[in-house]
Structure 1
Amino acid sequence: MNILLVEDDPDDVELLLEALHDNDVKFRIESIKEGDKVLPYLQLCKIFPDIIILDLNLPKMHGREVLISLKSSTFSHIPIVILTTSSSKEDKEFCLKSGADKFLSKPSTVEGFNQTVLAITQIANQHVEKNLSR
Protein backbone atom coordinates (compact mmCIF):
# COMPACT_ATOMS: atom_id res chain seq x y z
CA MET A 1 0.00 0.00 0.00
CA ASN A 2 1.34 3.41 -0.98
CA ILE A 3 0.45 6.04 1.61
CA LEU A 4 0.79 9.80 1.49
CA LEU A 5 0.70 11.12 5.05
CA VAL A 6 0.12 14.85 5.45
CA GLU A 7 1.00 15.47 9.09
CA ASP A 8 3.20 18.04 10.82
CA ASP A 9 3.48 16.36 14.24
CA PRO A 10 6.43 13.91 14.30
CA ASP A 11 4.93 12.06 17.29
CA ASP A 12 1.73 11.35 15.35
CA VAL A 13 3.77 10.18 12.35
CA GLU A 14 5.69 7.79 14.61
CA LEU A 15 2.52 6.44 16.26
CA LEU A 16 0.95 5.73 12.88
CA LEU A 17 4.11 4.02 11.61
CA GLU A 18 4.22 1.82 14.72
CA ALA A 19 0.55 0.89 14.31
CA LEU A 20 1.09 -0.01 10.64
CA HIS A 21 4.05 -2.21 11.58
CA ASP A 22 2.23 -3.77 14.55
CA ASN A 23 -0.66 -4.72 12.25
CA ASP A 24 1.68 -6.26 9.64
CA VAL A 25 0.62 -3.83 6.94
CA LYS A 26 2.91 -3.86 3.92
CA PHE A 27 3.33 -0.21 3.03
CA ARG A 28 5.46 2.51 1.52
CA ILE A 29 4.90 5.94 3.01
CA GLU A 30 5.75 9.49 2.04
CA SER A 31 5.24 12.20 4.60
CA ILE A 32 4.57 15.89 3.97
CA LYS A 33 4.48 18.42 6.81
CA GLU A 34 2.95 21.46 5.09
CA GLY A 35 -0.41 21.65 3.34
CA ASP A 36 0.82 23.76 0.43
CA LYS A 37 3.29 21.03 -0.59
CA VAL A 38 0.69 18.30 -1.30
CA LEU A 39 -0.40 19.19 -4.85
CA PRO A 40 3.15 19.95 -6.08
CA TYR A 41 4.28 16.60 -4.66
CA LEU A 42 1.48 14.71 -6.43
CA GLN A 43 2.18 16.49 -9.71
CA LEU A 44 5.76 15.21 -9.64
CA CYS A 45 5.38 11.74 -8.13
CA LYS A 46 5.79 8.65 -10.27
CA ILE A 47 3.76 6.26 -8.11
CA PHE A 48 0.49 7.70 -6.86
CA PRO A 49 -0.65 6.93 -3.33
CA ASP A 50 -3.41 4.39 -2.76
CA ILE A 51 -4.60 6.62 0.07
CA ILE A 52 -3.95 10.07 1.52
CA ILE A 53 -4.07 10.51 5.28
CA LEU A 54 -4.65 14.18 5.96
CA ASP A 55 -4.45 16.19 9.17
CA LEU A 56 -6.52 19.37 9.33
CA ASN A 57 -4.28 21.65 11.41
CA LEU A 58 -1.35 22.12 9.07
CA PRO A 59 1.10 24.97 8.54
CA LYS A 60 0.96 27.10 5.36
CA MET A 61 -2.37 25.64 4.13
CA HIS A 62 -5.15 24.26 6.33
CA GLY A 63 -6.24 20.68 5.76
CA ARG A 64 -9.71 21.85 4.69
CA GLU A 65 -8.12 23.80 1.83
CA VAL A 66 -5.93 20.83 0.92
CA LEU A 67 -9.00 18.57 0.80
CA ILE A 68 -10.89 20.97 -1.48
CA SER A 69 -7.84 21.36 -3.74
CA LEU A 70 -7.37 17.62 -4.02
CA LYS A 71 -11.01 16.85 -4.71
CA SER A 72 -11.16 19.50 -7.45
CA SER A 73 -7.98 18.26 -9.15
CA THR A 74 -6.95 15.34 -11.32
CA PHE A 75 -6.15 13.53 -8.07
CA SER A 76 -9.77 13.46 -6.91
CA HIS A 77 -9.91 9.66 -7.35
CA ILE A 78 -7.41 9.07 -4.51
CA PRO A 79 -9.23 8.24 -1.26
CA ILE A 80 -8.65 10.65 1.62
CA VAL A 81 -8.89 9.83 5.31
CA ILE A 82 -8.95 12.82 7.62
CA LEU A 83 -6.96 11.99 10.78
CA THR A 84 -7.09 14.93 13.16
CA THR A 85 -7.27 15.99 16.78
CA SER A 86 -10.56 17.71 16.00
CA SER A 87 -13.74 16.02 17.12
CA SER A 88 -15.85 18.94 15.92
CA LYS A 89 -19.13 17.98 14.26
CA GLU A 90 -18.65 20.96 11.93
CA ASP A 91 -15.21 19.73 10.80
CA LYS A 92 -16.52 16.22 10.25
CA GLU A 93 -19.53 17.36 8.21
CA PHE A 94 -17.42 19.76 6.15
CA CYS A 95 -14.81 17.11 5.32
CA LEU A 96 -17.31 14.39 4.40
CA LYS A 97 -19.34 16.82 2.25
CA SER A 98 -16.11 17.94 0.57
CA GLY A 99 -15.21 14.40 -0.49
CA ALA A 100 -13.24 12.82 2.34
CA ASP A 101 -13.80 9.07 2.51
CA LYS A 102 -13.52 8.91 6.29
CA PHE A 103 -13.12 11.29 9.21
CA LEU A 104 -11.24 9.94 12.22
CA SER A 105 -10.23 11.68 15.41
CA LYS A 106 -6.68 10.84 16.42
CA PRO A 107 -6.78 8.04 18.96
CA SER A 108 -5.07 8.21 22.31
CA THR A 109 -4.54 4.47 22.82
CA VAL A 110 -2.70 1.68 21.02
CA GLU A 111 -6.02 -0.08 20.41
CA GLY A 112 -7.38 3.14 18.95
CA PHE A 113 -4.46 3.35 16.52
CA ASN A 114 -5.02 -0.30 15.58
CA GLN A 115 -8.65 0.52 14.71
CA THR A 116 -7.46 3.55 12.72
CA VAL A 117 -5.05 1.38 10.74
CA LEU A 118 -7.84 -1.11 10.03
CA ALA A 119 -10.08 1.66 8.64
CA ILE A 120 -7.23 3.06 6.52
CA THR A 121 -6.29 -0.32 5.06
CA GLN A 122 -9.92 -1.15 4.22
CA ILE A 123 -10.36 2.08 2.27
CA ALA A 124 -6.98 1.73 0.51
CA ASN A 125 -7.68 -1.90 -0.42
CA GLN A 126 -11.07 -0.97 -1.88
CA HIS A 127 -9.34 1.67 -4.00
CA VAL A 128 -6.69 -0.80 -5.20
CA GLU A 129 -9.29 -3.47 -6.04
CA LYS A 130 -11.40 -0.94 -7.96
CA ASN A 131 -8.35 0.08 -10.01
CA LEU A 132 -7.39 -3.54 -10.72
CA SER A 133 -10.87 -4.32 -12.05
CA ARG A 134 -10.64 -1.49 -14.63
Structure 2
Amino acid sequence: MSRTEVLIIDDDPGVLFYHELMVKESGLSEKPLTFNNAEKALHYINSKRFEDINLLIFLDLNMPKVSGWELLDTLTKGNFKNIDQVIIVTSSLSLSDKAKAKEYKLVKNFWEKPLTEKNCKSLMDS
Protein backbone atom coordinates (compact mmCIF):
# COMPACT_ATOMS: atom_id res chain seq x y z
CA MET A 1 0.00 0.00 0.00
CA SER A 2 1.43 3.37 -0.96
CA ARG A 3 1.54 6.36 1.31
CA THR A 4 1.18 10.02 0.44
CA GLU A 5 3.73 12.75 1.04
CA VAL A 6 2.76 16.40 0.93
CA LEU A 7 5.17 18.84 -0.75
CA ILE A 8 4.87 22.61 -0.45
CA ILE A 9 6.84 24.61 -3.02
CA ASP A 10 7.08 28.39 -2.60
CA ASP A 11 9.96 30.87 -2.65
CA ASP A 12 8.60 32.96 0.27
CA PRO A 13 9.78 31.65 3.68
CA GLY A 14 6.78 33.15 5.48
CA VAL A 15 4.36 31.47 3.10
CA LEU A 16 6.19 28.15 3.46
CA PHE A 17 5.94 28.37 7.24
CA TYR A 18 2.24 29.28 7.17
CA HIS A 19 1.27 26.66 4.58
CA GLU A 20 3.18 24.00 6.49
CA LEU A 21 1.25 24.98 9.61
CA MET A 22 -2.10 24.76 7.77
CA VAL A 23 -1.27 21.29 6.41
CA LYS A 24 -0.35 20.08 9.90
CA GLU A 25 -3.30 21.74 11.66
CA SER A 26 -5.76 20.26 9.17
CA GLY A 27 -4.45 16.75 9.77
CA LEU A 28 -3.58 16.35 6.08
CA SER A 29 0.04 15.52 6.96
CA GLU A 30 2.10 15.52 10.13
CA LYS A 31 5.34 16.12 8.23
CA PRO A 32 4.86 18.05 5.00
CA LEU A 33 8.07 18.74 3.10
CA THR A 34 8.85 22.32 2.13
CA PHE A 35 10.97 23.55 -0.77
CA ASN A 36 11.95 27.15 -1.37
CA ASN A 37 12.58 26.60 -5.07
CA ALA A 38 11.37 24.34 -7.84
CA GLU A 39 14.83 22.91 -8.59
CA LYS A 40 15.19 21.41 -5.10
CA ALA A 41 11.65 20.07 -5.30
CA LEU A 42 12.29 18.46 -8.68
CA HIS A 43 15.42 16.77 -7.35
CA TYR A 44 13.38 15.32 -4.49
CA ILE A 45 10.50 14.26 -6.78
CA ASN A 46 13.00 12.51 -9.06
CA SER A 47 14.46 10.66 -6.08
CA LYS A 48 11.00 9.27 -5.24
CA ARG A 49 10.05 8.44 -8.83
CA PHE A 50 10.09 4.66 -8.46
CA GLU A 51 9.06 4.36 -4.84
CA ASP A 52 5.63 3.24 -3.70
CA ILE A 53 4.66 6.73 -2.64
CA ASN A 54 2.14 9.26 -3.90
CA LEU A 55 2.92 12.96 -3.95
CA LEU A 56 0.46 15.76 -3.27
CA ILE A 57 2.06 19.03 -4.33
CA PHE A 58 1.07 22.55 -3.34
CA LEU A 59 2.77 24.76 -5.93
CA ASP A 60 3.38 28.48 -6.23
CA LEU A 61 3.56 29.81 -9.79
CA ASN A 62 5.72 32.91 -9.54
CA MET A 63 9.18 31.88 -8.40
CA PRO A 64 12.63 32.99 -9.56
CA LYS A 65 14.84 30.77 -11.73
CA VAL A 66 12.30 27.98 -12.31
CA SER A 67 8.64 29.00 -12.21
CA GLY A 68 5.75 26.80 -11.21
CA TRP A 69 4.78 26.59 -14.88
CA GLU A 70 8.23 25.34 -15.83
CA LEU A 71 8.09 22.73 -13.08
CA LEU A 72 4.66 21.58 -14.32
CA ASP A 73 6.04 21.29 -17.87
CA THR A 74 8.93 19.14 -16.61
CA LEU A 75 6.63 16.91 -14.56
CA THR A 76 4.25 16.49 -17.49
CA LYS A 77 7.01 15.63 -19.97
CA GLY A 78 8.67 13.32 -17.46
CA ASN A 79 5.51 11.25 -17.06
CA PHE A 80 5.79 10.99 -13.28
CA LYS A 81 3.30 8.32 -12.28
CA ASN A 82 3.48 8.85 -8.52
CA ILE A 83 2.17 12.41 -8.51
CA ASP A 84 -1.34 12.14 -7.14
CA GLN A 85 -2.22 15.78 -7.70
CA VAL A 86 -0.86 19.28 -7.95
CA ILE A 87 -2.70 22.17 -6.38
CA ILE A 88 -1.65 25.61 -7.47
CA VAL A 89 -1.63 28.02 -4.53
CA THR A 90 -0.87 31.48 -5.86
CA SER A 91 -1.41 35.18 -5.42
CA SER A 92 -2.27 35.40 -9.13
CA LEU A 93 -5.90 36.17 -9.82
CA SER A 94 -5.31 36.14 -13.56
CA LEU A 95 -8.03 34.42 -15.56
CA SER A 96 -5.39 33.40 -18.10
CA ASP A 97 -3.42 31.63 -15.35
CA LYS A 98 -6.57 29.78 -14.25
CA ALA A 99 -7.27 28.77 -17.85
CA LYS A 100 -3.67 27.67 -18.39
CA ALA A 101 -3.77 25.55 -15.21
CA LYS A 102 -6.70 23.59 -16.67
CA GLU A 103 -4.42 22.48 -19.52
CA TYR A 104 -2.38 20.36 -17.09
CA LYS A 105 -3.88 17.00 -16.13
CA LEU A 106 -1.81 16.99 -12.94
CA VAL A 107 -3.43 20.19 -11.67
CA LYS A 108 -6.58 19.45 -9.68
CA ASN A 109 -7.23 22.85 -8.10
CA PHE A 110 -6.24 26.51 -8.40
CA TRP A 111 -6.40 28.27 -5.03
CA GLU A 112 -5.67 31.82 -4.03
CA LYS A 113 -3.04 32.32 -1.29
CA PRO A 114 -2.96 31.73 1.54
CA LEU A 115 -3.67 28.03 1.90
CA THR A 116 -6.28 27.48 4.58
CA GLU A 117 -7.06 24.67 6.98
CA LYS A 118 -10.45 24.37 5.25
CA ASN A 119 -8.73 23.92 1.86
CA CYS A 120 -6.59 21.12 3.27
CA LYS A 121 -9.52 19.40 4.96
CA SER A 122 -11.47 19.47 1.70
CA LEU A 123 -8.80 17.20 0.20
CA MET A 124 -9.37 14.62 2.92
CA ASP A 125 -13.10 14.58 2.15
CA SER A 126 -12.65 13.81 -1.54
SS in 2 for 1:115: helix
- What amino acid sits opposite 1:87 in the alignment? L
More strand by share: 2
More helix by share: 1
The one of 44, 53, 67 equivalent to 1:62 is: 67
CA pair 38-22 structure 1, distance change in 2 beyond 3 A: closer
Report the count of equivalent residues. Answer: 119
- What amino acid sits opposite 2:102 in the alignment? L
Match of residue 102 from structure 2: 96
* C-alpha contact (below 8 Å) 1:54/1:82 kept by paired residues: yes
Q: Please, what TM-score do these two structures have when normalized by structure 2? A: 0.79
Q: Please, what TM-score do these two structures have when normalized by structure 1? A: 0.75
Q: CA RMSD in A?
A: 2.2
Runs of 5+ unmatched residues, structure 2? none
Match of residue 117 from structure 2: 114
Could you tell me the percent identity over the aligned residues? 24
CA pair 96-12 structure 1, distance change in 2 beyond 3 A: same
* C-alpha contact (below 8 Å) 2:59/2:68 kept by paired residues: yes
Runs of 5+ unmatched residues, structure 1? 127-134
